[in-house]
Structure 1
Amino acid sequence: MAASLPKTMRGQFLEGFKKPYALRSVPLPKPATPHDLLIKVDAASYCHTDFVLAEGQMPGFPKQFPHVGCHEFAGTVVSHFDPPSSNASSFKVGEKVGVPGRAFHACGKCFECQGSRDPVSRDDKGYSVYCTHAENNGLSRNGGFSEYAVVDARQLAPMPGSMGPVETAPLMCAGITIYAALKRCKLNPGDRIGIMGCGGGLGHLGLQYAVKMGFNVIGVDAADGPLQLATDLNTGARIVDARKEKAEDIVQQAGTEDGKHDLGEMGLDAVIVLPESQAAFDYAMILLKAHGKCVVVSFPENGFHISARDVVFRDISIIGSLVGSNKMLREMLNFSAEHDIRAIARSFPLSKLNELVEEYHKGGGGKLVIDMAMEN
């Protein structure tokens, strides 16, 4: 099959910060190490990080221009390096796979690759998504906004038979990120959790995962489009408009429902903060009961102001969450397939990527995806 591959491909390239993408043809990339696979990209999803990168707000990334973005995509294996590694050879030509951004060419020798203490990010010894020496598709190296891409077999997940590439691509960053954040909460069925930014790309997936995990879920947002999207999902989660409902009132209502009378006992067991908003962070902290957990996923340029009183006097734990291991990626995909969890997405052809970006800035919620089949 490799012999029939084209010599060139089209890709959407960033040629500088704060500039639109430029569609052009370049030579087809080739696998360069035994772990490498060449895939035909079938779908590529747009992430907030793609915007942050294009604006020049990620110091050190990209390493050079022109640059192909996208770190959440899906495609079809078309060729291997010769000879392939055992990891690469486990994927057959024609197999459908999901591709996250992390971690391309992990070193296999650092602290993380040798097995860190974090059970959420830990993979088998010899590979870690947290490898400090690895590259990242769409960030430090070219990603999925192109017709073909070279990927590391160790970072891939087989696509479930019940899912297509447009459904799989958004889960390769948004899905695994919110799924891992939920795991970090370490909740039991019936526990209360709040998701700040519940109508966004991660948030609306988080609502679906959290409900299927058996949690008592409150979704919070502060914009009409995302709130409508979250409501229309009909997950059974309570959807709150932060512009109209005070966090203190929600705490009191939770206490009444739980039969609690001590203020420290009232509220949520955990919250996940997705927006880059101090107001969202503050709202989330008020929602928590004493000894609750705040999981921070967003990383605003100027950080968050944290009240020492919450941390010291209420014993609130604040932890960060980035991604999950390759094992968790596969777990998340299988969970999504089993429970019919899907991103609410709108699709665009590769040639219309700049129009997709314009739609992103309108803030309608959900995900925006490049569907390569739309070019044909």
Structure 2
Amino acid sequence: MAQPDLPSSMKAQVITAFNTPYTLITTPLPSLDSPSSSPHDLLIKVSAASYCHTDAVLAAGQMPPYPLSFPHIGCHEFAGTVISSSPNSPEFPPGTRVGVPGRSFHPCGHCFECSTAPDSANPDSDPPGYSVYCPVSINNGISGPGGFREYAVVDARQVTPIPDGLTAVDTAVLMCAGVTVYAALRRCGLEKRRRVAIMGCGGGLGHLGLQFAAKMGYKVIGVDVKDEPLALARDIAKTATETRIVDARVEEAADLVAQLGEEDQKTHRGDMGVDAVIILPESQRAFDYGVALLRNHGKCVVVSFPEKGFHVSARDVVFRDISVAGSLVGSNKVLGEMLAFAAEHGVRARIKTFSLARLNHLVEEYHKGEGGKLVVDMELED
């Protein structure tokens, strides 16, 4: 498969061992003509690559067996421009701007996940032949190389065109953080004007979740425990209708529930609280606080995956009919819907940008825990 005139090498940031800084290297460009190529492959020039919590977990060795080998190129939420494509992907001609999530690169196309058609139980599934849940597909940035490089091969079935009005930097953060929290909100199954709580509301996913939830027409309770993320969340809440930000260090869940009951003129505990809660932090305290906010028959949607898991109270599940569900990113169909929604409603992450060469500075900034999203902008000079 012919490629246009391109440089023979590119810059990439790699980890060579767990718990070590990234190393900037020069490496050959990926090719559409390699033995592992698919007819659906696209070669893109990466414009922006966003740093996710999962990148930190992976680099710390907390996602065995990944990465499968070193050196490893991280980043599973990025965006770029198509340089070369195959006849199988006429909808992505060279010059098309695309957003790229990590899942699902080269799915098998015939397993249960890939062959299951959308139905009433899961109308957001992709058409048969492709699934983000395919057990043998590659995840860019986790089981395979990701976006911390100048060029990348991606699967045309996994990408989505970038709408006008969104930059590559805007889009990159939405390819995991955005679609993950958007899909989690969809998983809550709420009608407009119902209440949803977002635990960890000032983080990368959380501050996007505040915006999506408000634009979806929900009453929103954002909860956090750190000064900087709370400040970010409160700033967002200034322009988000019916959004309340709570510092869990000073306000107990029971007191908040009582206040909501008074607002709703409810007197029985089972009637008071929120209809759904999304758990973003890897904290048992956050989980317990979130579940305590739920009214009877409420839904707890878990996005985070702490190494030791969460303890779930059987009393809540049995006597209060609390349901617990997990949510992992979203289908390609939901990805496109989310990106269009963000473009239309002005959902934007609060972002700090760094050059590719300054990725380790980005990681240092991430560990300060100040909220928002951190992105490598390939247009920035070193």
1:286 corresponds to 2:292 = yes
Q: Which residue of 2 aligns with 1:94?
A: 95
1:166 corresponds to 2:169 = yes
Partners of 1:104 and 1:9 lie apart in 2 by 21
Shift of 1:3: 2.9
Cα distance change of structure 1 residues 43 and 120 upon mapping to structure 2, 3 Å threshold: farther
Q: What is the DSSP-based 3-state SS (H/G/I as helix, E as strand, rest coil) of the residue aligned with 2:262?
A: helix
Shift of 1:90: 1.2
**CA contact under 8 A between 1:207 and 1:219: conserved in structure 2?**
yes
Partners of 1:227 and 1:152 lie apart in 2 by 38
* TM-score between both structures, scaled by the size of structure 2: 0.96
Shift of 1:362: 0.2
Q: What is the DSSP-based 3-state SS (H/G/I as helix, E as strand, rest coil) of the residue aligned with 2:352?
A: strand
Partners of 2:186 and 2:4 lie apart in 1 by 44
Partners of 1:175 and 1:120 lie apart in 2 by 20
* TM-score between both structures, scaled by the size of structure 1: 0.97
The aligned amino acid for 1:51 is A
Q: What is the DSSP-based 3-state SS (H/G/I as helix, E as strand, rest coil) of the residue aligned with 1:62?
A: coil
Q: Which residue of 1 aligns with 2:24?
A: 23
Instruction: In structure 2, list runs of 5 or more residues that go unmatched.
Output: none
Partners of 2:255 and 2:127 lie apart in 1 by 46
1:301 corresponds to 2:307 = yes
Measured against aligned partners, the alpha-carbon deviations of 1:116-172 in whole angstroms (never above 9, x if no partner) come to 665265101111111111000000100000000000000000001111000000000
Q: CA RMSD in A?
A: 1.2
Partners of 2:123 and 2:142 lie apart in 1 by 22
**CA contact under 8 A between 1:39 and 1:78: conserved in structure 2?**
yes
Shift of 1:375: 2.4
1:68 corresponds to 2:69 = no
123, 127, 132: which one aligns with 1:124:
127
Q: What is the DSSP-based 3-state SS (H/G/I as helix, E as strand, rest coil) of the residue aligned with 1:375?
A: coil
Counting only pairs closer than 5 Å after superposition, residues 208-223 of structure 1 correspond to structure 2 as 208-223=211-226
The aligned amino acid for 1:207 is L
Counting only pairs closer than 5 Å after superposition, residues 47-196 of structure 1 correspond to structure 2 as 47-81=52-86, 84-85=87-88, 88-115=89-116, 119=122, 122-196=125-199
Measured against aligned partners, the alpha-carbon deviations of 1:205-252 in whole angstroms (never above 9, x if no partner) come to 000000000001000000000000001112231000000101001111
263, 269, 274: which one aligns with 1:268:
274
Amino-acid identity (%): 62
Shift of 1:278: 0.4
Measured against aligned partners, the alpha-carbon deviations of 1:181-227 in whole angstroms (never above 9, x if no partner) come to 00000000010110000000000000000000000100000000000
Shift of 1:258: 1.0
Shift of 1:4: 2.1
Partners of 1:108 and 1:97 lie apart in 2 by 22
344, 356, 364: which one aligns with 1:358:
364
Q: What is the DSSP-based 3-state SS (H/G/I as helix, E as strand, rest coil) of the residue aligned with 1:217?
A: strand
Q: What is the DSSP-based 3-state SS (H/G/I as helix, E as strand, rest coil) of the residue aligned with 1:89?
A: coil
Instruction: In structure 1, list runs of 5 or more residues that go unmatched.
Output: none
32, 46, 49: which one aligns with 1:44:
49
Paired residue total: 372
Select between 28-37 and 351-360 the one with higher mean Cα deviation: 28-37
Partners of 2:353 and 2:124 lie apart in 1 by 31
**CA contact under 8 A between 2:4 and 2:83: conserved in structure 1?**
no
The aligned amino acid for 2:138 is E
Q: What is the DSSP-based 3-state SS (H/G/I as helix, E as strand, rest coil) of the residue aligned with 2:4?
A: helix
Q: Which residue of 2 aligns with 1:243?
A: 249
Q: Which residue of 2 aligns with 1:322?
A: 328
Q: What is the DSSP-based 3-state SS (H/G/I as helix, E as strand, rest coil) of the residue aligned with 1:220?
A: strand
Shift of 1:264: 0.4
**CA contact under 8 A between 1:14 and 1:20: conserved in structure 2?**
yes
Measured against aligned partners, the alpha-carbon deviations of 1:284-306 in whole angstroms (never above 9, x if no partner) come to 01100000000000000000111
Q: Which residue of 2 aligns with 1:8?
A: 9
**CA contact under 8 A between 2:197 and 2:278: conserved in structure 1?**
yes
